[in-house]
Structure 1
């Protein structure tokens, strides 16, 4: 298993110079298919609990706070997993790493369909989170290795839409399984598990590790791509002899900009999961929506974010990589939408608000993930992703699930929105700092 995940060796035969461009394009298409299909698959298997939360709570007799604990088990496990799996995956074959995490997650989905025990489900959620931690870091490293900085914002944005497609596929698969198997929750887990395995196989077929493994020059040689570190030093290195701890200390823990981006992402995740994790319960219990429509809104919420994700990435490239400024505009939009989400009772207005909120919110989440990758060397990309993911999920998603679950039971749904306002405010302040730092680095 571990030999399967080792990085591919450099190809002995190099691609002829006159064929480099066409060959690069061919492999970029394959890499794009792999990351888009692969990460969609991760969301197909992980969103079942969010979409089916009302039915699971009813059939399994779980309270809102218990369900919040289940979701937070994923957040805690995923945060730890992203830190360690992200760091160690810098030494692996990115494409195989991506496929392995998806296939293992899909197999775990079958196990969810065999139990209703609260504690067993919590344990399985932690194991699922560990496997899920292999996904985003692998995709982000693939993007860093196969595309130069001038196109990376757009590619990164389009890749991030895979979350939306994955959520929609998940909702569709759940509705199909419910129709075919008389609303059996077990069959819902089995159906999404089968779909996930199939998508993992597609990743293995289309993807590759890195350009050098197929005889191509590195992206740095091909496009002149470089990274400007917090110190002002420029680097284009892809591999290093430094161990994981040395990379973590030297290029992550000692970098103030990395910390600022990480904390920004943490607050943005709190807002994101504070909304999406509770869409069905909030709209059914507090706004009078029907259960079926509320479920579909989970998929619609993610799918509706596609224009914002792509536009945000495109604008951040057009405005000379001013990614933090684009993020700040998005967060202002988030704050305005949260006001409407709290005070309005009109169903049409709430649906429109969710669509706008998804665009304003997911675009900054997408871009801070790219910012963190662009301020460290390529050999530290997945370590930086894992470090940020640790805070995103250990603090951000846990606060958005377990903490909000308890607060809602005690104080009502208004407390949920209050927490989200505070988190959005902190994110905006941090983005202003990042904007000023980006300008200094550009002059370095």
Structure 2
């Protein structure tokens, strides 16, 4: 009976995080989906990029802070408050009528968005055993792909029939409602409800000793910074996030403005990137969990890295096809296939980089390690906003995706060279 009750609670907690993070993703991209309409009404490319960058900049800051402070916060409250906050910011954006207000409200949205994933990472680690961590991490992160796959078509329908402001009001209202629900259906840990901790049980089964809690004695934030592996993962995460954000934010603009495709074809690319990301993220978790089980623990390199290299290679190939093969006459089906494959590749890498940054550091520093790599990722997302929109205004959107193709290829080569680098972040703190 106790086991059945615990499984029901696991399902309720996971469903809350899955739906809630999907709402985070829907609101995060709600303005990007409305940008083509705003640009038709006179919004300049540089202004559109400034709006996107204002959100990404705030998201980078708040996600970094949330990761570092995750052990000192109530994750369930942070998650719920962030959902309500991002919904309110979306509603306010829908009432704005000037560039300053657009940037200000979307900055607030990005700041509220930073409450989402650090809370999810903290909660899911408490509710599932370590042997299933990679898989459930990937499944949960795929929730944003579900919303990202449905949102383009839903937003396009609402925008074409009721206007872009109605699309934002709808997204914001859903987020607020889900945030209020999560106050009553989300819990930090099984121990909050009188059940044993999965982490403690796993340590006992493995014969491990309890971990020390003295952060000063065990090392702190500064011990992470000298790690070459952490910087490698951060650089790769930055590039792949810039690629993902550009594909989602500017892919439809590229197809519509420069290649003359319809709004629904543009939405197809965005939707398929997210749909492919759903399967790519889950596949990355399953495959790399299998690789970890077969890995010789005496070797210090992370067995998930070769999969990350493969996904990077696929990303570069998809960008090459998007730049040199896709034109005005390309069928919607081929565009959908390209988008699906690109989404699977970039989201597969996003899942892997998040997982390895957590598991390669000592447990008491895993949140900080993930915060560092996430900050680098959000720097990449910020670069895809204003800087890339300026590049597109001076040259073309095609030049943006060509630049990303070249950078992805270079990072892929760098990772191949460094594939066997010691993956232990702050390795002098690990016990062999």
TM-score relative to the length of structure 1: 0.85
Partner of 2:222: 249
Matching residue of 1:42: 24
CA contact (8 A) 1:81 1:133 kept: yes
Following TM superposition, by how much is the alpha carbon of 1:303 offset from its aligned partner in structure 2, in angstroms?
Answer: 1.6
Per-residue deviation at 1:426? 4.2
Q: What is aligned with 1:73?
A: 54
2:162 counterpart SS class: coil
The 1:286–1:358 alpha-carbon spacing in structure 2 relative to 1, beyond 3 Å, is same
- Name the CA shift for 1:205/1:293 in 2 (closer, same or farther; >3 Å): farther
| CA distances 1:333-357 after superposition (whole Å, capped 9, x unpaired) | 1111111111112234332111111
2: CA distance, partners of 1:328 / 1:235: 35
Query: Residues 350 and 374 of structure 1: is their aligned pair in 2 closer, same or farther, counting only changes over 3 Å?
Result: same
Q: Distance in 2 between matches of 1:383 and 1:309?
A: 22
Q: CA offsets, 1:224-266, max 9 Å, x none? A: 3999xxxxxx9864x94649xx74223x324333232222211
Measure, in 1, the Cα distance between the counterparts of 2:386 and 2:155. 24
- Does residue 289 of the first structure (1) align with residue 261 of the second (2)? yes
Q: Deviations over 1:56-99 (max 9, x none)?
A: 1222x211121111111111111111111222232112122111
1:4 corresponds to: none
Q: 2:392 matched to 1:420?
A: no
2:298 corresponding residue in structure 1 = none
Name the stretch that deviates more: 377-386 or 200-209: 377-386
Aligned equivalents of 1:144 and 1:55: distance in 2? 41
Where does structure 1 lack aligned partners over 5 or more consecutive residues? 1-17, 228-233
Aligned equivalent of 1:371, options 356, 379, 391: 356
Task: Report the number of matched residues.
Answer: 412
**Which deviates more from structure 2 when the two are superposed, residues 357-366 or residues 256-265?**
256-265
Match of 2:10 among 13, 16, 28: 28
Taking the TM superposition and a 5 Å limit, the aligned residue runs for 1:21-420 are 21-59=3-41, 61-178=42-159, 182-224=161-203, 237=211, 240=213, 242=215, 247-250=220-223, 252-320=224-292, 322-344=303-325, 345=327, 346-347=330-331, 348-394=333-379, 396-420=380-404
8 A Cα contact 2:241 2:381, kept in partner: yes
Do the aligned residues in 2 keep the contact of 1:331 with 1:428 (CA within 8 Å)? Answer: yes
Which region of structure 1 is more displaced relative to structure 2, 21-30 or 362-371? 21-30
TM-score (norm 2): 0.87
Q: Is the 8 A contact 1:43 1:166 kept in 2?
A: yes
When residues 304 and 117 of structure 1 are mapped into structure 2, their CA distance, relative to the original with a 3 A threshold, is same
Q: Take 2:424 and 2:227, find their aligned partners in 1: how far apart are those partners?
A: 16
Q: Which runs of 5+ in 2 are unaligned?
A: 294-302
CA RMSD for the aligned pairs? 2.7
Q: Provide the rounded CA distance (Å) in 2 between the counterparts of 1:176 and 1:414.
A: 27
Mean alpha-carbon deviation: is it higher for 215-224 or for 139-148?
215-224
Contact 2:127 2:190 in 1 (8 A): yes
